[in-house]
Chains A and B, each alone.
Chain A
Amino acid sequence: MTAPGIEVRGVWKKFRRGEIHDSLRDLVPALARRVLGRIPKSGALAPGEFWALQDIDFEVRPGQALGIIGSNGAGKSTILKTMTRILRPNRGYCTVGGRIGALIEVAAGFHPDLTGRENVFLQGAIMGMPAHLAREKFDAIVEFSGIADFIDTPVKRYSSGMHARLGFSIAAHLDPDVLIIDEVLSVGDFAFQRKAFDRIATLAKSGIPVVVVSHQLDRIAALCTEALLLERGRIAHRGPAADCIATYVLGDNRAPVDAADCPVRLERLAMAGPSEVRSGDWARFRISGTVLRPVTENLELVALRIRALQTGEVVFATSSSHCEVELPPIGPFAVDVALQLNVPAANYVIETNVWDPIRHRDASPGPTTRIEVTEGASFYGPVQMNAGMALARDPS
């Protein structure tokens, strides 16, 4: 009996660019070799091939929830496909112990002409749900999807939301030993999304091994104990989910910008005081730089962004023009900034840049720094409002 868990060991996977069959002449022998089992040494790349995954190595044990993040084309889905046996790696191997519950394309097996009821059993079977389980869970599935009134209507008459909700509900009742989730966290309306997320969180926290692929970093942060950052098929970072997301978010903002002709260069960002601030308190820092030539363009010369590292979300942005600060026409300058950190306790990054509001991008990136906001006056919610309460003297 294999213990539930996912083991991915030294997995390499190559793909080809362009059309797969260039001509019958080179395809037939290649296919014949593969079918007959004489696979050539798979280490080398033929022309036009590239590594979609390179030496991916990790494991997920019970109690672990692993998030996989990275930009489009980094190899996230390819990893999931090797885990679910859809793709076979060129080198290395994946083993998954136990029954896989894959929340990937949860409505892929629906046939438009069949009713919701018929599709529940069909999709359930496609996902590997045993017949008795499908019958047992049928009522729960319909109840969860919230479309009981339409369960005997052909799904071609469903709205896309109903379609997705029914699909998700089936997948959510799989009772898997191992859970694999690919971008299905945003189905249906707001209420259903919350319900779906709660359901996944319950499954994830029940102690089964979980792998989640998502671009919604806050979901990864909330679900996962650990995360992998993929960059062009390689593991660029692995660690606690928050760290990994931070690496991803920071790396992403260092995208090269052609800053050569920017009239202002931001050089230093210095915190006045510790980089740990209580929620609701003031943080003070100084941004220094140089005006290289007289500014004729419409630019926000000293812009700053506060980004929550857990989610990558920008929670606040402003600039010298908004604060009505004029820089000297030429030469070095320094701007003192004070920020009241009315945000919940978490890690943030302060990014400085010269902002081009017309093209809506950084004209030149500046230095960044991390700041940790610690628990201040107790509150709950996304904003620190520095609540004050006092007992009224005249309660009329």
Chain B
Amino acid sequence: MSHRPDSATAMTGRQSVPGPDGPLESSTPPAGPAVAGPEGAKGRPGFAAELREIVQDLWHYRELLYQLTLRDVRIRYKQAIMGFGWALFMPSLIVLSGFLVRIVMAHLSGTTLETSSVAGIAVKAMPWGFFVGAIGFATGSLTGNLNLVTKIYFPREVLPLASVLAMGFDTLIGTAALIAVLPLLGVTLSAALLWVPVLALLVFCFTAGVSLLLSCANLFFRDVKYIVQLLLTFGIFFTPVFFDAVMFGPTGLHIVMLNPLAPLLEGLRLSVVQGHHLLVPLIETTSSGQQVLVWSPWYLGYSAVWAVLGLLGGAVLFHRAEFLFAEYV
């Protein structure tokens, strides 16, 4: 029985290129409904149709996505003494470095480091670690599986997505540990915690979109992985992980928040550590009595647009380039 009649017809539409236009004699049928399929003579489905196709393909191959994620999770810590301990160790290391940086900063400015700041670093270390790890693994996911890409058909989206999901699994382990530690750092339950899943989803979407783009780009140009490595190494200076965006002053805040990840990380810190409701702007009074804007809901909107458009655009671009993969590797 036919499991995928619609994609078979959709494929007809996409694969048919009309017209005997070459110098050679050809019996290629001319463009027409019989050849061009349901999308009509244009031969290329629209943005929405392509998205539907991607989702259908992924749904059809959901078992593969699961198995590849499982593979990536399993192999990451095989033959490693610490095993899944690494999933805790990596974010701990980020938190520890942040802690050291902040202690030095506090010492220089003659203040003391509050536990809430440490909690803030810990909360932001999770999504940052996830982003860096996922992008790092996903960038090489297509080139690392060339034997599959050139030999067997499946929606190639599953390769970078599995890398992202596997990293997501690691982050969940880390998050579980973090939840146990946070109360010790003075974090209390609040309604604002309901923002966490929303922010996590946005981080995930953004990461997935970037992963799709980068894995695809790296297949065509191997330089991409070096550039990515550079960006990820220095990214921590341009992303408010160790520090808070507000430390840069009113203008600096706006600039820092241009980084699509910045509002998501700051939003996490504010909602978890300060129990702030993210649809309300937050204005703090500094020790010198100045009124400073710390958070505006527009930041969230800005990041949400990046995340959603990034994912959709990444998916469609990936999908359009997909049929070139086997030829261009």
Contacts and interface: CB of A to CB of B under 8 A. Distances in A.
A55 interface: yes
B82 interface: no
B326 A55 contact: no
B155 to A, nearest CB: 10
Nearest to B320: A35
A41 interface: yes
Contact of A1 (B2, B29, B71, B328): B2
Interface in B3-47: 3-5, 8-9, 11-12, 14-17, 19-24, 26-29, 35, 44
Given A94-B15, A108-B152, A55 B63 contact: no
B8 A96 contact: yes
Contacts of A37: 44, 320
A127 B153 CA distance: 8
B148 interface: yes
Given A41-B19, A108-B148, A113-B75, A57 B27 contact: yes
Interface string A124-143: 11111111001000000000
B3 A88 contact: no
Given A20-B328, A111-B75, A86 B151 contact: yes
A104 B147 CA distance: 11
B324 interface: yes
Interface in B130-158: 147-148, 150-154
B42 to A, nearest CB: 9
A94 B20 CA distance: 16
Nearest to B155: A85
A93 B16 CA distance: 5
B324 A1 contact: no
A114 B317 contact: no
B2 A111 contact: no
A41 B152 contact: no
Contacts of A293: none
Interface stretch (A2-10, A332-340, A369-377): A2-10
Contact of B2 (A20, A57, A108, A177): A177
B152 A43 contact: no
B173 to A, nearest CB: 20
Interface residues of B, number: 53
Given A37-B320, A90-B17, A109-B152, A125 B67 contact: yes
A121 B63 CA distance: 9
Given A20-B327, A43-B22, A95-B8, A126 B154 contact: yes
A10 B148 contact: no
A124 B67 CA distance: 9
Given A12-B26, A54-B24, A97-B2, A113 B79 contact: yes
B283 interface: no
Contact of B153 (A10, A84, A134): A84
B323 interface: yes
Nearest to A82: B15
B26 A130 contact: no
B320 A10 contact: no
Interface string B57-97: 00001011011101100110011000000000000000000
Contact of A86 (B17, B27, B326): B326
Interface centre among B2, B220, B326 (most CB of A within 10 A): B2
B51 to A, nearest CB: 15
B68 A125 contact: yes
A105 B152 contact: yes
A108 B35 contact: no
A125 B69 CA distance: 12
B1 interface: yes
Interface string B293-329: 0000000000000000000000001001101101110
A321 to B, nearest CB: 49
A122 interface: yes
B66 A125 contact: yes
Given A31-B220, A34-B324, A91-B17, A105 B44 contact: no
B163 to A, nearest CB: 14
B47 to A, nearest CB: 11
Contacts of A2: 2, 5, 8-9
A346 interface: no
A177 B1 contact: yes
B80 to A, nearest CB: 11
A15 B74 CA distance: 38
Contacts of B11: 85, 93, 95
Interface of A: 1-4, 9-10, 12, 15, 20, 31, 34-35, 37, 39, 41-44, 51, 54-55, 57, 81, 84-100, 102, 104-105, 108-109, 111, 113-114, 118, 121-122, 124-131, 134, 177
Given A2-B8, A104-B152, A128-B154, 9 more contacts: A2-B2, A43-B21, A57-B27, A86-B153, A93-B12, A97-B5, A98-B2, A126-B154, A131-B63
5 contacts: A91-B20, A105-B147, A108-B152, A125-B68, A177-B2
